[in-house]
Amino acid sequence: GKHRIVIPCLGHFKEEYEKVSKLYMNNKIRTTRYTLLNFLPRNLFEQFHRVANLYFLFLVVLNWVPLVEAFQKEITMLPLIGVLTIIAVKDGLEDYSKYKMDKKINNLVTKVYSR
């Protein structure tokens, strides 16, 4: 049959491990939704899938039309910006705590049992 080669990543095997490990996928756990680059666009995309946020966005856009303007333009933007900011901060903190937990789990020392 088939053979499987296991190379430890410690000690004098480290160089060989780094050469061989580039050929295969790693088994790191990643439960986070965001990265630093995609946080703002992805978070806004997810937030505007909520009907309430779309409604407030519609009111903001409608208030920029001079014929329909009910309040000052800036005042109608405040509730939407406030809600979006609070939810973005909450999502960011949750994702950061998931990142820390993933890092902790991925760096655990494990034992490998063989027959």
pLDDT tens track of the chain, all 115 residues? 677 667 666 677 777 777 777 777 777 889 999 999 999 999 999 999 999 999 989 988 888 888 877 778 788 889 899 999 999 999 999 999 999 999 999 888 877 776 6
Contact yes or no for 57/49 (Cβ under 8 A): no
> What is the model's pLDDT at position 68?
76
> What is the model's pLDDT at position 115?
67
> What is the model's pLDDT at position 107?
85
Angle at 48 between CA 46 and CA 51, to 5 degrees: 120
| Dist. CA 16–CA 43, nearest whole Å | 41
| Dist. CA 88–CA 94, nearest whole Å | 10
